Structure 1
Amino acid sequence: MISNTATDAVSWVQVIVLSIVQGLTEFLPVSSSGHLRIVSELFWGKDAGASFTAVIQLGTELAVLVYFAPMIWQILSGWFRGWTDKSSRGQDWRMGWMVIVGSIPIGIIGYAFEDAIRGALRNLWITAAMLILFSFVFIAAEKLGKKERGFEQLNMKDAIVMGLCQCLALIPGVSRSGGTISGGLFLGLDREVATRFSFLLAIPAVLASGLFSLPDAFSPDAGQSATGLQLLVGTGIAFALGYASIAWLLKFVGNHSFSWFAAYRIPVGVLVMILLALGVLQPL
């Protein structure tokens, strides 16, 4: 266990670099938590910690809230209206329940395995292995998924399956968006539909994780501590780059396969394994 001393405080350079990494990778299926773990170990020889990661993720989730504000407002208003007017229980009512139900699995798994998520699962050997192995899931999803179902055809089964897939993102190297989008493609959803619902599904989980981890980011049991100003700046950077990443990814998925990301993930995973074997990186 790392003691909370002055030497364990995160530096401003770390905050800026890691926030940039978070903003650029959160929504791409390359695993932002895995990249943060790798960059932290490669440049500073220590893990900034799961709590710090969870808090700066609030910036990227704020980007989702802003980017999809009209859609989110429509879903929320439809969901609340459905409580008082049964005749108005249409797609927005169902979508609200799908996001709620789909978020339950990661809440349960995240709470039950909190110690492993903050500790053993941050082993870089695991991160590297997941970067490589889960890439083949992307490829299979692209090849086997029919990609013909639209947004209006989303149902509770889709939400539950994609919610279960989201739990895999608790392991650095898998990727939250990669897991949920792959699940959607296997279910026959259109690539853009799976991507958009993946973003919506992440909102409750990431916001809850970030707010829950906020006290630990200041005084962590493991990892490095950060000041309030550092966390604020970090979330701001993550927000700006995250917003740009959302716009880029939605444009990209309209005409490109997710297999392109596998072509990036596999070499990165192999490189990390080589650096671990050579002792350049330490697994924990």
Structure 2
Amino acid sequence: MNLLHIFILAVIQGLAELLPVSSSAHVILAEKIMGFDPSAPDMTFLLVMLHTGTMFAVIVYFWQSWKKTYFSNGQDFKRRCFYVLLATVITGVLGLLLQSLIKHVFFGGASNFEIEHLFSNSKLMATALAASGILIIFSSRLDRGQQADIRLPSAMIIGAVQALCLPFRGFSRSGATISTGLFLGISRQKAEEFSFALAVVLTPAVIIKELLRLVHAQHASAGASHLALGSLLLPSLFGMLFSFLTGLLALKWLSAWLEHGRWYLFGIYCLVFSGVVLLLA
């Protein structure tokens, strides 16, 4: 893999991660076209580093808005942080249960099973994309926007839905969480803010998980885990920078379409792209 490959993947990740079109599906498809294995530890680590770039883009983009809501006063800060943390815990618990269910039901409890093994399944990815597209279209049509802000039951439901996005590449995290918020009657702006607050909390845990996976995978390889990680770090930082810059552009696009009633167009795109994935598969 050279810097041109990483640049292409970073731009794809930056544009797609913060739009409800599943960045993972786009990046994984691009990796396959370039001849890389999406389930390999080094590729999943690169993907996580690209996610880090978009995480920083989220923080920069939403910082002023969050200061007015999440940091307006001590009471609001505690309440909103509790909702975010509770939703994240629900995501983690249900995500682990779902992973265990997939391992034992579909892989016979194989000891070497990792959820990343699903990432190379194009049919599964296309199905998840189609499901995400349908969810986005329906949420756009049923958007009531009656509830001004997040409440405890809404936070719990959104956290549960987010868990479904962890094992299934193609089922957009932002698309699923924002759409769920719209179904629940939350205003578009608050649904968007809460969705990306969850992303900022969830991403570091994913980074640590993939870092440990990379070190473990390379540990038996002539003891070269440190060297392998070092050789990946600088190119990954390069990719992270470009995913950050393109992520800022994607967020402006997302906010504009969401606020102006064009949310459903992302759903149509997901349906079309699911067909492309199946065709290329």
- Fold in common (TM above 0.5): yes
Provide closer, same or farther for how the CA distance between residues 217 and 14 of structure 1 changes in structure 2, counting only shifts above 3 A: farther
| SS at structure 2 position matched to 1:92 | helix
CA change 1:96–1:258 in 2 (3 A) is: same
**How far apart are the structure 2 equivalents of 1:257 and 1:76?**
27
**Structure 1 position 235 matched with structure 2 position 240:** yes
Contact 1:166 1:176 in 2 (8 A): yes
For residues 179 and 130 of structure 2, what CA distance do their matches in structure 1 show? 15
Is the Cα–Cα contact under 8 Å of residues 137 and 268 in structure 2 kept in the other structure? no
Specify the SS of the correspondent of 1:60: helix
**1:250 matches 2:276:** no
Matched, 1:168 2:164: yes
Q: Is the 8 A contact 1:30 1:178 kept in 2?
A: yes
Give the total of aligned pairs.
254
Runs of 5+ unmatched residues, structure 2: 101-112, 219-227
| Separation of aligned partners in 2, 1:154 and 1:50 | 33
What residue is the counterpart of 1:211 in the other structure?
A: 208
Alignment partners' CA distance in 2, 1:57 and 1:205: 11
Pairwise CA distance, 1:247: 2.0
Give, in angstroms, the shift of residue 111 of structure 1.
4.8
The answer (yes or no) to whether the contact 2:154–2:181 under 8 Å persists in 1 is yes
Q: 1:210 to 1:179 in 2, by over 3 A?
A: same
- Could you say if the C-alpha distance between residues 124 and 270 of structure 1 is closer, same or farther in structure 2, counting changes exceeding 3 Å? same
Task: State whether residues 18 and 39 of structure 1, in contact with CA within 8 Å, keep that contact through their aligned partners in structure 2.
Answer: yes
- Counterpart of 2:142 in structure 1 is 144
Cα RMSD of the aligned pairs, angstroms, is 2.4
Q: Distance in 2 between matches of 1:154 and 1:274?
A: 40
Q: Map Cα deviations across residues 64-83 of structure 1 (whole Å, 9 max, x no partner).
A: 1122224445667568x4xx
Q: CA deviation at 1:216?
A: 3.9
Which residue number corresponds to residue 96 of structure 1? 81
TM-score (norm: length of structure 1): 0.80
Distance verdict in 2 for CA 1:77–1:105, change over 3 Å? same
8 Å CA contact 1:61–1:207 kept in 2: the answer is no
1:57 aligns with 2:51: yes
Q: What is the TM-score normalised by the length of structure 2?
A: 0.81
What do the CA deviations read for 1:135-188 (whole angstroms, capped 9, x no partner)? 1111221222312222xx321111111111111221111101011011101101
Alignment of 1:194-205 (within 5 A): 194-205=191-202
Q: CA offsets, 1:225-260, max 9 Å, x none? A: 761111111111111111221122112211123210
Q: Structure 1 residues 189, 246: closer, same or farther in 2, change over 3 A?
A: same
| 3-state secondary structure, aligned to 1:119 | helix
Aligned 1:177-188 pairs, distance under 5 A: 177-188=174-185
Distance 1:71 1:24, change over 3 A: same
The Cα of 1:207 is off from its aligned counterpart by: 2.0
Given that residues 78 and 93 in structure 1 are in contact (C-alpha distance below 8 angstroms), is that contact kept between their aligned partners in structure 2? no
Identity value in percent: 27
Specify every segment of 5 or more residues in structure 1 that has no aligned partner in the other structure, as ranges: 1-9, 82-88, 277-284
Confirm or deny: 8 A CA contact 2:144 2:185 kept in the other structure.
Answer: yes
Alignment map for 1:70-89 (pairs within 5 Å): 70-72=64-66, 81=74, 89=75
User: Which contiguous aligned blocks of 4+ residues in structure 1 show a shift greater than 6 angstroms?
Assistant: none
Q: Give the equivalent residue in structure 2 for 1:157.
A: 153
Whole-angstrom CA distance in 2 between matches of 1:121 and 1:40: 11
> What is aligned with 1:5?
none
45 and 231 in structure 1: CA distance in 2 versus 1, 3 angstrom threshold: closer
Q: Is the 8 A contact 1:75 1:96 kept in 2?
A: no
Residue in 1 that maps onto 2:265: 260
TM-superposed deviation, 1:217 = 4.7
Name the counterpart of 1:135: 133
On the 8 A contact 2:140/2:261 being kept in 1, the answer is: no
Greater shift, 247-256 or 113-122, is seen at 113-122
2:22–2:173: 8 Å Cα contact kept in structure 1? yes
Distance 1:205 1:28 in 2: 17
State the distance in 1 between where 2:47 and 2:36 align.
16
| Contact residue 7 and residue 239 of structure 2 kept, 8 A | yes
